[in-house]
Amino acid sequence: MRRTPILLFALAAACGSAQHTPPPLNTIPLPKGAALKPYDAANPGTPHPYNMAQIGGKVFVALGNLRPDYSVGGPGFLVGVVPSQGFKDVIDLGGADGRQCQNSGAVRTDGTMLYVTCSGDFSGSSGRALVEVDPAAAKATRTRTLAADQAPSGLAVTANKVWMGLSSSASLISVDRTTFALADGSDTHQAIALECPHKIYAYVPDLLTVGSDLYALCSSDQAGVIFRLDSSTGAVRDHANVGATPTALAATPDGRLAVVCSGDNTLWIATPGQGGTVTAQLAHTYAGGTATLQGVRSSARYVFTTASGSNTVQKIDVSVTPAKVVAEASMNAGTAPWDVAPLNDDEVVVSGSLSDDLTGLTAVDFKTAPQ
């Protein structure tokens, strides 16, 4: 009898938990057509959803708003989605002229505000920017326009700065969060240059802040490297080689970092050490049928990765060595899954860069690996 209240409490907690977090819609429509404010109504863009960030029970996804030839079709957008209901907020990032932010791609939050990078028109010089968004008001609050040679890719938010990796070089720039002026990379402070071996190209696809550390990936024609830097100054503390063409990194449930590499189909685990060091080990080589790894994010227990070339999403246990794919979901052909936002250990929202919608995946969508 004494056990009954405990069991009832546990049952109620479990049921209550399920009731409070209804599953995501399988298809979560995104704004399209005129809602994306096309520059040319006869040649509009499509959503091209890229990266996502979660805050306040919503998933915010950056829309590239690109035409089929990858030219910009309109301003960048950030869309707030309640996974179980659909999109709620459509936030135009383009500014007064609709061209201050184009091709928005990466988004991060500090728990209060959202920050979005805009890579701009690849064939021109417009639309490079960092935009600050107030999720509560669903409005862009500040925009820092960037130079043509400062097309940003990934970003990370610290207490004082928003760091951005550049897509044209192995360099980091930053914006002061107080003034929203360019700090590192301005006329008075040089950008942080990462010593990333390359002969043809190098860029910084993703960044992450963990405590006082800033982690940055470098992807080049010759190497893949993860750097550990001081998040205040950008001083490099250490670096370690990872696989070819790293594309994204995320903190793992046990405090390490997971890195996916699209070039050689691998997952790496980087481990921070004492004194600012970092080491990296190969954790998993994906099957030959898995192609073009793009995103990595963590839930409380698992790491989720996306592979745009095979339209698959993997659920991975990185607490074991080597890491084990415990479940996998297949998405529709032509989806090209890009980023994944875990809602819990069993449910995720996936952005497909070639899809016009977001996709919600639940436990039934994941095929589990044999034990």
Partner 1 sequence: MPRAFAALRRSIRFAPPALTALALAALPARGEETRREAAPIDVVVQAPPGSVRAPAAESTVVETSAFAGEVRSVAELLGSSPGVSLHALGGPGQTATVSLRGATADQSLVLLDGIPLHGPGGGAVDLSTLPATLLDRVVVSRGVLGAQFGAGALGGVVELVPRKAKARGAGAQLSVGSHGTAQLSGDIEFAEGGASALAAAELDTTQGDFPYSRQLTPEVSPDYSDFTRENADARRGSALVRWAQQLGADTELAVLLQAGAGVHGLPGPYTTPTQRSRALDQGGLLGARLRGEAGSAAWTVRAWGRIDRLELRGVQVVEDCADGEPSCPRLSQRSMAAHGEAELGFPFGDAHWLRVTAAGGEEWIAGTSTGPHRRGVASLALMDDVRLPGRVSVHPALRAELVGAQAAVSPGIAAAWRPFSGGPLVPVELRAGAGLSFRPPTLTELYLDQGVVLPNPDLEPEHAWSADAGVRWHGQVLTISAAAFYSRYRELISYELSPPIRVKPLNVARARIAGLELQAAVALPQAFVAEASYTYLDAVSLRDGNQDGHHLSYRPPHRLFARLARRGDRIEGYGEASFVSSMPRDSFDSAKLPAQLTLNAGLGARVVGTLWLDLEAKNLLDDRTHEDLFQYPLPGFTLAALARARF
Residues 167-206 touching partner 1, rule: CB under 8 A, are 167-169, 197-201, 203-206
Name the strand (E) or helix (H) holding 285.
strand 278-285
User: Considering beta carbons, is residue 138 or 287 the nearer one to partner 1?
Assistant: 287
Touching partner 1, residues 100-139 (CB under 8 A): 103, 105-106, 119-120, 122-123
Q: Which of 292, 299, 351, 359 binds partner 1 (CB under 8 A)?
A: 292
Q: Are 120 and 126 in contact (CB under 8 A)?
A: yes
Task: Please tell me the count of residues contacting partner 1 according to CB under 8 A.
Answer: 80
> How far is residue 323's CA from residue 269's CA, in Å, rounded to a whole number?
9
Angle at 177 between CA 111 and CA 175, to 5 degrees: 115
Q: Please report how close the Cβ of residue 208 comes to partner 1 at its closest, in angstroms.
A: 14
Query: Would you count residue 308 as binding partner 1 (CB under 8 A)?
Result: yes
Q: Does 314 bind partner 1 (CB under 8 A)?
A: yes
Nearest to 110 by CA among 175, 169, 44: 175
The rounded distance, in Å, linking the Cα atoms of 144 and 140 is 11
Compose the 249-268 pattern: x for residues touching partner 1 by CB under 8 A, - for all others: -------------xxxxx--
Selected range binding partner 1 among 79-87, 132-140, 251-259, 286-294, rule: CB under 8 A: 286-294
In this structure, which long-range contacts are made by residues 312-317, counting pairs with CB atoms below 8 Å and at least 24 apart in sequence?
312/337, 313/337, 313/340, 313/348, 313/350, 313/361, 313/366, 314/286, 314/290, 315/366, 316/267, 316/284
If one asks whether residue 65 binds partner 1 (CB under 8 A), the answer comes out as: no
Q: Pick the stretch among 19-27, 89-97, 214-222, 269-277 that binds partner 1 (CB under 8 A).
A: 214-222
Q: What are the backbone angles phi and psi of residue 45, rounded to the nearest 5°?
A: -90, 170
353 touches partner 1 (CB under 8 A):
yes
Residue 26 makes contact with partner 1 by CB under 8 A: no
Tell whether residue 151 is a contact of partner 1 (CB under 8 A).
yes
209 touches partner 1 by CB under 8 A:
no
